[in-house]
Amino acid sequence: MNYAPMPAAASCAEAWLVAARRLFDTGPVNNMILHIEDPISHSATDNAVMTQVDTFLRDHGAYPLSTVANTIFPDALYTPGKPELLYERYDRSFRKIKSKAPDWGRYFDRMINWPGSDGKNHRQLQTLIENLSAYGPQTDRAQPYYNMYELTLFHPEKDARKPLGRQCLSFIEIKPERVEGAVRLHMTALYRSHYYIARSLGNLIGLGRLLRFIAMETRCEVGTLTIHSTHAEIDTGSTNAKKCSKSWGRKKVGDLISRCEEIRLDAQTAPEPAVPVEAVQA
């Protein structure tokens, strides 16, 4: 299949689950598109689904959701209003990160240490924030700019000739929108390839956190998240004694998806909590 747009979803977990079921039932697809209305809020049901996926990954020696999300945005290192402190903290920890996973997890590093033609590293993420703060519709400019806020993750010199181990997330675009006196930021991310068990849900969480960071630093509100995966598939893990990982196979994936669907179904069919009589009368 060469075109697979999915229905808009309320949350990251909901979007992931619907897409994972489709991929499991129909096989790999090209051009899978997800649209998430609120990529930073997670209901109790969402958290239960994420716990199922996280436990599954940990049980098989794969990276947990938090590790995958941190490759896009290391949330624990961020102090609101101090982006440069975030960058400095990440730079100090990057050597340790690379010692554990030398060929993986470079997304945030590329956002803040892009090699320039002048031989220096450039913080393209900070440039996006500064441009949006100076030229975006939340400013008092008579003619704000809407189409100049981008992040590049694919590096043609480093990645183009690598058949394996190259980046999966290639490009991120931010689009501001005026909505009832406020400015909302919408994010679109392009993936060249997407593993829906080992990576996808953690990626969605990380992108939502990155969008929230940009919104906070530019005095905007968080908008929607759209993901375009030019190839998406259900991965079955890999066995690697050195990394203590083991393949999970198709049957276990089906069981995982079914458990997550049961969680959502139970939440939808659960009776509404009783309202005290006093509250009704009030």
**CATH number of the CATH domain containing 177:** 3.30.572
The pLDDT value given to residue 281: 43
Q: Side by side, which strands form the sheet with 4-5?
A: 4-5, 32-36, 221-229, 182-191, 169-179, 150-152
Query: CB 30: neighbour CB atoms within 10 A?
Result: 13
Whether 191 is in a domain gets the answer yes
Whether 250 is in a domain gets the answer yes
Burial class (CB in 10 A: 0-12, 13-18, 19+), 261: middle
Look up the pTM and report it. Answer: 0.93
The pLDDT value given to residue 157: 87
What is the total count of domains within the chain?
1
State the Cα–Cα distance between residues 123 and 110, nearest whole angstrom.
8
pLDDT at 216 over 70: yes
Whether 101 is in a domain gets the answer no
Whether 104 is in a domain gets the answer no
Q: Are 230 and 4 in contact (CB under 8 A)?
A: no
Would the CA dihedral through 254, 255, 258, 263 be positive or negative?
negative
Q: Are 149 and 175 in contact (CB under 8 A)?
A: yes
Whether 92 is in a domain gets the answer no
Q: Which residue has the higher pLDDT, 161 or 102?
A: 161
162 pLDDT tier (thresholds 50, 70, 90): confident
Whether 232 is in a domain gets the answer yes
- 3-state class of 240 per DSSP? strand
The pLDDT value given to residue 243: 82
Q: Which residue has the higher pLDDT, 278 or 56?
A: 56
Q: Which residue has the higher pLDDT, 95 or 254?
A: 254
Burial class (CB in 10 A: 0-12, 13-18, 19+), 109: middle
Domain assignment of residue 44, given as a range = 4-65+133-281
Whether 55 is in a domain gets the answer yes
Whether 140 is in a domain gets the answer yes
State the Cα–Cα distance between residues 81 and 102, nearest whole angstrom.
31
pLDDT at 96 over 80: no
- Residue 43: DSSP 8-state: -
Torsion, Cα 226 207 103 23, to 10 degrees, reads -40
